[in-house]
Structure 1
């Protein structure tokens, strides 16, 4: 009799669908293509449909919630929402070792940037687990971070003495080593700052600047990737993750990789050429109307000088702040991919 009851209970348990899961999701910049084309469709439609309705989501963005970008991962770790995503550089005040995810000037192509991010991922996963009580689900790119200027420039040296909005701490350190003044201004405030002369130049992705209308308040576009690729980290609160059954965890990881992360990286290849065409009118713009900024292409001398500053000043300074252990981990992973070694003595 006991055996019969046990068998019946087992059958009922197997036939009972797993409990529904509702996730509160906070995306990155609502006005930019990464959110419009990948984040919002994935979390609102793709994942719920793949789960046959088991997973439902409530999706907003940090801008719509009036969150400071530095707060996103802090609040995620506290369980204020379940899934959060924003640029990794925004969290470096809490985790200086995270700057190693996006080092300026080491990756010119999307393939190289992807290889560097993949190499950094084990470090990033440890950082998010220990610093933000969360599990990394994806790391997706913005386009290369280039320089918009509202002053006439013709090369890298022309940035000396100018006030430049940096897209991350390493970029700010690089600008200071170059002789410019690195300025910390929120992305949404940059157009007004350029127009009023609060800054002379600003660093962001070419596509982001196009979408946000920076071409209206800038005249020159320097295409050297001073700000890296600004990878956006998507993470889920670790307590939320641990409450999910193994099947749901596997579904989320599989769908995030194939339907969100991979397509976002695929679109990054060739995106810079399109974005530059859109901003300068040099070529076909597939994203909208051509604009007429002056294109300033980095010379070999510009790139060589920038790399020298990076390797002799910026990276050693980061190693001092992050610690020798993190610098060694970076050397053994990302450094090998990009052929750069951070001094750790």
Structure 2
């Protein structure tokens, strides 16, 4: 019943907000990620509402909204896509791990410190992710784009990784939360939009998200220390199309969409990620030029090599072995042979 109600609400939202398009065109109903964040504003919305329709010369019409504008919970996005409530949807892969724990392998913390390394990790995971979405969500993966590295915002002084022990910390995904707990912190599940209030009220002491996302959402107004160790990975956003809709397109349409999204959405999003952390840190701390607006004045916490080594030890000794129990040995063996081989990490299976 709950699933049915969610579907009806989503259909109502589309019906109320979208204009009728010509019957001869291919119409796509598209749900984007967070409407307030740079990935949506700079890449998702321009691609789907301007670039793709224009390049198709009117053969493809797009009706677009976002999950937060529709009032859909992030964990429901790919479930509703599976049901065919809309044609295309995109959200952070970590939001779907409750239905697909093997998907946690798309965004393992600490194994990629640069955009190039993160892209190599995602490229290695792509065949696995394709199969996960086909099996779990009846969907065709069209693209995987990054948020900036997921860093730590704290209300109160922190000087090292050890200072997170005993603190209440909002993680950006299940594996990040498991890592925080192994570190001695208390992992707390708080929705992204609720983090500023939780920090202000002391419900949580720290929270993990992308530096740019935290700047855009005003987290710097309720926190004062920024630790840039990538505890939350890169929070890749998966864009997928309902498989029934995909199969209804002809081969030329499918090829056109894949070429467009790879060259004019995925590639630019990854290219911008290369300098994103530097610019975002400048915006949050005032150390350097802020291209996004007025800079904040958070204290930047430099993480030591010893902290990074300690974090990776916890990851390999505790966090990844626990993942085997959730995902199963077959999926993790596949991860070892693809992503693990790329990042130099092997999860023990015995």
Interval containing the TM-score (normalised by the shorter chain): over 0.9
Q: Say which of 60, 63, 67 aligns to 1:55.
A: 60
Name the residue aligned to 1:14.
Answer: none
Determine the C-alpha separation between the residues in 1 that align with 2:130 and 2:277.
28
Q: Say which of 69, 84, 89 aligns to 1:79.
A: 84
Q: Say which of 338, 341, 344 aligns to 1:336.
A: 341
Determine the C-alpha separation between the residues in 1 that align with 2:263 and 2:24.
24
Shift of 1:237: 0.2
For each residue in 1:129-166, what CA deviation from the matched residue of structure 2 results, as whole angstroms up to 9, or x when unmatched? 00000000000000000000001100000000000000
> Is 1:32 equivalent to 2:8 in the alignment?
no
Structure 1 length-normalised TM: 0.94
Determine the C-alpha separation between the residues in 2 that align with 1:331 and 1:130.
20
Determine the C-alpha separation between the residues in 2 that align with 1:56 and 1:115.
33
Runs (4+) of structure 1 moved beyond 3 Å?
A: none
> Is 1:20 equivalent to 2:22 in the alignment?
no
Residue 140 of structure 2: SS of its match in structure 1? Answer: strand
Determine the C-alpha separation between the residues in 2 that align with 1:199 and 1:217.
11
Shift of 1:270: 1.1
Q: Please provide the CA RMSD for this pair.
A: 0.8
> Is 1:122 equivalent to 2:127 in the alignment?
yes
Determine the C-alpha separation between the residues in 2 that align with 1:336 and 1:270.
26
Determine the C-alpha separation between the residues in 2 that align with 1:298 and 1:256.
36
For each residue in 1:60-112, what CA deviation from the matched residue of structure 2 results, as whole angstroms up to 9, or x when unmatched? 00000000000000000100000000000000000000000000000000000
> Is 1:110 equivalent to 2:121 in the alignment?
no
> Is 1:169 equivalent to 2:204 in the alignment?
no
Shift of 1:283: 1.2
Determine the C-alpha separation between the residues in 2 that align with 1:281 and 1:319.
42
Determine the C-alpha separation between the residues in 2 that align with 1:286 and 1:65.
30
Shift of 1:303: 0.2
Determine the C-alpha separation between the residues in 2 that align with 1:191 and 1:320.
33
Aligned residue pairs, count = 328
Residue 209 of structure 2: SS of its match in structure 1? Answer: strand
Q: Which runs of 5+ in 2 are unaligned?
A: 1-22
Residue 138 of structure 1: SS of its match in structure 2? Answer: strand
Larger Rg: 1
Name the residue aligned to 1:220.
Answer: 225
Determine the C-alpha separation between the residues in 2 that align with 1:53 and 1:298.
51
Determine the C-alpha separation between the residues in 2 that align with 1:277 and 1:48.
36
Determine the C-alpha separation between the residues in 2 that align with 1:319 and 1:276.
35
Determine the C-alpha separation between the residues in 2 that align with 1:51 and 1:245.
14
Determine the C-alpha separation between the residues in 2 that align with 1:251 and 1:134.
18
For each residue in 1:11-64, what CA deviation from the matched residue of structure 2 results, as whole angstroms up to 9, or x when unmatched? xxxxxxx94200000000000000000000000010001110010010000000
Structure 2 length-normalised TM: 0.93
> Is 1:276 equivalent to 2:281 in the alignment?
yes
Residue 26 of structure 1: SS of its match in structure 2? Answer: strand
Determine the C-alpha separation between the residues in 1 that align with 2:326 and 2:77.
22
Name the residue aligned to 1:246.
Answer: 251
